[in-house]
Structure 1
């Protein structure tokens, strides 16, 4: 991306953040101690943005300079997930760094009946988990209960309840999301005891 293109993107981000907050040019200008006419010229591209103005604008808009100037290309949009395979379970992580994305990890999982689940294979860890079934039927072991979740249905539960997810009658594909605690626990259980979840 050329310097001109990046400059245009920065201007669009400043204008977009200002408008998303419902602020007029005058309000943002007052918050960052820039005259409204200077801010207007910055947003329209009729004035170059100085570093001290960029710092003031980022602070006033509640963001960072890094977020205002990060380049835009396909690499920051497209995720090419790597496949992780264990007996009866294939996982594709579909999200980036959880710290930057609300502390949530999103993954697609394909579970087959070969995966051990149910009593003796239940996990407990802090956090919450959510999943929806894309194909097949999932069998959620949740403490003493067994809950069947079909295509188009979703489940959400506290992972402090002993749990595991298995496939009922054939392969099941799910889209799952769990918080940082869940991500850490699943990463540890994958490395210590394949097939447990």
Structure 2
């Protein structure tokens, strides 16, 4: 028996999904991607993506996450779920900040969108050894205090006003570089994930 290409080995979702095939094809064509280019980015074979687009195969959840990322949308929108109208304005102090393992997360955007912005307060010594690896992209901008950012085997020290933009499949660590801690703006594209789940769960591991 042949081994399926990367991304195709995951089991199918146990429940019948809505017919996402037309939506997958529409999004790919709307992004002007060939079947081969989209399949390559998603880690699928062109034949498998073609079967998904024609409804001959049901996608697994990892496949939906990967395709949603490539097409710049969300899994909910891929499934045709109607989301309530969101208030575009996020007032100071709303919602209530979330705390986990010393970090404080302030939501700075509407939940459920593909791009999720946060304001983070990172005390000195908190989570400095936590390595994160997960699908998506991250962008950060240092507001106060020095920040130490590890990307793979390379360490960077960022001062207030510095920023970084990277693929979050690159193993990365974030830590305050000074005793006063650091505060930063942070944007991620890990779809439909709560703040603490993104930063602390999923593909996180301790080095």
> Partners in 2 of 1:113 and 1:148 — Cα distance?
14
Is 2:123 the partner of 1:109? no
Count of matched residue positions in the alignment of Structure 1 and Structure 2: 121
Which residue of the other structure, out of 93, 109, 120, is the alignment partner of 2:107? 93
Alpha-carbon shift at residue 179 of structure 1 (Å): 0.7
- Mapping for residues 1-197 of structure 1, pairs under 5 Å: 77-79=89-91, 80-99=94-113, 103-118=114-129, 121-169=130-178, 170-181=180-191, 183=193, 187=197, 190=200
TM-score of the two chains, using structure 2 as the length reference: 0.50
Alpha-carbon shift at residue 182 of structure 1 (Å): 8.6
SS at match of 2:197: helix
| Long gaps (5+) in structure 2 | 1-81
Deviations 1:58-88 (A, max 9, x none): xxxxxxxx9xxx79xxx65243131111233
> Partners in 2 of 1:153 and 1:126 — Cα distance?
24
SS at match of 1:187: helix
RMSD: 3.4
> Partners in 2 of 1:182 and 1:164 — Cα distance?
22
Runs of 4+ in 1 over 2 A off after TM superposition: 75-79, 180-186, 188-196
TM-score of the two chains, using structure 1 as the length reference: 0.52
> Partners in 2 of 1:93 and 1:188 — Cα distance?
12
